[in-house]
Structure 1
Amino acid sequence: MKDHYINHINVLHNEINIQIAKKYEGKLDNELTTKQVLLLELIKAGVTSTKDLADKLNVSTSAVSQLLNKLEDKGYVERFINPKNRREIILNLADKANQYFKDLAFLKDEINREVYGRLSLEELKQLTKILEKLQVIAKGNC
């Protein structure tokens, strides 16, 4: 009996994500791959060494360099030689990446208003409680 509900939850979750993606896909830059977005997120969070990026993404430094080359070619990342240590390269988000994150924040707000905003306060409280419990369970199993 539980399996039926668990499967149904998974199906509903996937369908919700697909519907949201379909509705909003044209509102955000689609030229980035998932790994490129993850790399930009890490740089935004302050991870700026190629080695640290590789460790966080669980890929080789060569793979990170290739991703960085593509992001630099597309205008999302800027690389500079550290004047204090010429062997070190400093990574910065370029204007295009900063605009991407602004657009993403705006889109998330819009989705939250149009999707979660339609739930009552009580429904939001219940959903939050359930998600927090799932998070605790997931942390305990990982």
Structure 2
Amino acid sequence: MKDHYIKQINVLRNEINIQIANKFEDRLDNELTTKQVLILELIRTGVTSTKDLADKLNVSTSAISQLLNKLEDKRYVERFINPKNRREIVLKLADKANQYFNDLDSLKDEINREVYGKLSLEELKQLASILGKLQGIVNEGS
């Protein structure tokens, strides 16, 4: 009996994600790959060196350098020499990346209003409670 509901939840969750992606696809920046977005997210949160990015993503520094080259060519990332340690290159988000995140935040707000905003306060509380419980279950296994 539980298996039926679990399968139904998984199907519905996937369908919702696909429908949201299709509905807002024209507003998404399709110029970036998933890995490039991940790198931008890490730089946004304060990871500012190639070595630190490589460590966080568990890949080689040369792989990160290749991704950074593409991001720099597309004007999402800027590289600077650290004035305190001239051997170190510091990464910074360029204006285009900051605009990307501003647009993304606006899009998320719109999706939240159009999807979650149509639920009642009680439904939102129940959903938040269930998702919190699921997160706790997942964290127990970690």
Give TM-score, length-normalised by structure 1. 0.98
Distance 1:122 1:109 in 2: 20
Kindly indicate whether residue 11 of structure 2 is the aligned counterpart of residue 11 of structure 1. yes
SS of the counterpart of 1:86? strand
What is the DSSP-based 3-state SS (H/G/I as helix, E as strand, rest coil) of the residue aligned with 1:87?
strand
Aligned residues: 142
Q: Deviations over 1:106-140 (max 9, x none)?
A: 00000000000000000000000000000000001
Identity %: 81
Give the alignment of 1:1-142 within 5 angstroms.
1-142=1-142
SS at match of 1:31: coil
Alpha-carbon shift at residue 29 of structure 1 (Å): 1.1
Displacement over 6 Å in runs of 4+: none
Query: Please, which moves more after superposition, 53-62 or 6-15?
Result: 53-62
Residue 131 of structure 2 aligns to a residue whose secondary structure is helix
Report the CA distance between 1:42 and its aligned residue: 0.4
For 2:117 and 2:83, the matched residues in 1 are separated by: 49
Q: What is the alpha-carbon distance in structure 2 between the residues aligned to residue 58 and residue 3 of structure 1?
A: 36
Q: Distance between the aligned counterparts of 1:58 and 1:103, measured in 2?
A: 29
Task: Single out whichever of 112-121 and 47-56 deviates more from structure 2.
Answer: 47-56
Any unmatched runs of 5+ in structure 1?
A: none
- Decide which moves more: 117-126 or 49-58: 49-58
**2:55 counterpart letter in structure 1:** D
Cα distance between partner residues in 2 of 1:111 and 1:27? 11
What's the CA shift for 1:63? 0.9
How far has the Cα of 1:28 moved from its partner? Answer: 2.0
**C-alpha separation in 1, matches of 2:97 and 2:91:** 12
How many angstroms does 1:30 deviate by? 0.7
**Which shifted more, 20-29 or 110-119?**
20-29
Aligned-residue RMSD, C-alpha: 0.7
Q: TM-score, normalised by structure 2?
A: 0.98
